[in-house]
Structures are given as C-alpha cells and as structure tokens.
Amino acid sequence: MSSADSERTPVLVDGRQSTTALRVQRGVMRFLRGVHDMACYAEVPLTNGRRADVLGVGPKGEIWIVEIKSSVQDFRVDTKWHEYREFCDRFFFCKPPELDDIFPAEEGLMVADGHEGAILRPAPLDALAGARRKALMLRLARIGADRVHGLMDPGPGQTPLV
C-alpha cells in the first residue's frame, strides 16, 4: 500500500482497511450481489494506478465502482476519487449508516453496514467505451482466476482454503 493510500483510509496495524471500511465493504457487496445480481470484486487495481474498493459487474456487463468512505476525514483527504469514473458505467460513494451525507449531490450514494446495503441516491449513467469495457473485463477475468487459484493453491507449505 502506498503512503498516499494509507493517508486516504485509516488502516489497521496489518495494513488492511479500517474495520469500519471492511464492514461497509462486506455489506455493499452483499447488497450488490443479492439485489442487483452483480459479481463483485474487492480492491481492484486499475490501470491508472488507483484501486477500486468494490467493483461490480452486472448480468449485462455493466460495471459499477463503489468508493467506500468510513469518515468525514477519509472523504476530505481523498482528492483522487474522480479518477475511478473512467473505469465504470456508474460511480457510487458508500458510507456507514452513522456517517452524514457529505458527498457531492451529483454522485451516486449507497449506505451499508456489515450485513446489507441500499442505494440512497442513484448514480448517473456514463457508459464505458467498448474498448475500455473489453480491456477491463479481461483484467477482471484474470484477477478473479488468480484469486481463486490463490485460495486453491496458496503455495508451498500453505493450506488451501477450498
């Protein structure tokens, strides 16, 4: 994790996101999967050097990116969030229930806890170009396969999770 990323989101001692952000991430992924039939990826590295907190792919290939903000400070120090828009059809912020709506009114907004989520404000549609969508879908297929392989065969001396 770069120093810029660690300033953006409070991190735990082991380098992961804050417990609040992880709780929100789980809830929003459950919501996207259960309500919108989206396959979700967490922590997706993008070709512009950014990392999407949650990226969902819908049944017709639509791509949503969800940027999780766990606190007012987390939102205020992040000046890079607009750089995610070029990689999705819809962009949302997602917040925990206890955080006020401090987000730009023109952006989509979700709320989630560790169990479920909801859309508070729909995100405008800004359809990806075909070439960008194809490149991103190929990248996601490879990321997904690598993550599954890592669970099945984590390496010498490690116990597989599946």
Instruction: Quickly state the pLDDT bin for 156 (edges 50, 70, 90).
Output: confident
Instruction: Please name every residue paired with 64 in a beta bridge, in sequence order, or none if there are none.
Output: 56, 90
**67: nearest Cα among 90, 38, 99:** 90
Assigned domain for 37 exists: yes
95 within domain boundaries: yes
- Average pLDDT score, the chain: 90
pLDDT at 132: 96
Cβ 96 vs Cβ 86: under 8 Å: no
Mean local confidence (pLDDT), 19-24: 94
Does position 3 have pLDDT exceeding 60, yes or no?
no
pLDDT at 13 over 50: no
Token match 């919501």: residue?
31
Identify whether 158 is part of a domain. no
> Given pLDDT bands bounded at 50, 70 and 90, which one contains residue 161?
confident
> Residue 108 CB: number of other CB atoms within 10 A?
21
Calculate what percentage of the chain has a pLDDT beyond 90: 83
Q: 29-45 burial, b if ≥16 CB within 10 A, otherwise e?
A: bbbbeeeeebebbbebe
Total domains, the chain: 1
Q: Does residue 26 fall inside a structural domain?
A: yes
20 CB neighbour count, 10 Å cutoff? 21
- DSSP 8-state assignment for residue 146: H
User: What range does the domain containing 64 cover?
Assistant: 3-152
**What are the pLDDT digits (tens) for 48-106?**
999 999 999 999 999 999 999 999 999 999 989 999 999 999 999 999 999 999 999 99
Query: Residue 11 pLDDT > 90, yes or no?
Result: no
Residue 160: inside a domain, yes or no?
no
Torsional sign, CA 52, 49, 46, 14: negative
Reply yes or no on whether the pLDDT at 42 is more than 80.
yes
Cβ count near 93 (within 10 Å): 25
What is the value of pTM for the model shown?
Answer: 0.86
Token digits for 92? 């949302």
